[in-house]
Amino acid sequence: MDVATMKVLGTALAIAVVVIAPALAIGMIGSKGVEAVGRNPEAASTIQTNMILAISFAESLAIFALVVALMIKFV
């Protein structure tokens, strides 16, 4: 295999493997947040704020993986 093919495969693997974890984390955060609001509706605003913050941290991992994959492809 030549270098160009290896770069494309490296990019695909970097995105495919690293994006799985944030996707699972966002799903778990969302389900636990809804469960917490169901148990304690008075604290919904606090729970929602914390849930959105945690989702943004989890999503930042996917964005970081995209940057690394683009670096593999173009550098």
Q: Which amino acid is at 8?
A: V
CATH class of 3-74: mainly alpha
pLDDT value for 36:
95
Sequence length of the chain is 75
pLDDT value for 62:
86
Give me the phi and psi of 40, to 5 degrees please: -140, 80
pLDDT value for 61:
86
pLDDT surpassing 90 at residue 52: yes
List alpha helices for 3-43, DSSP H.
3-39
Q: Which amino acid is at 62?
A: A
pLDDT tens-digit series, residues 16-48: 888 898 899 999 999 999 999 999 999 999 999
- pTM here is 0.75
Q: What residue segments make up the domains of the chain, in order of their start?
A: 3-74
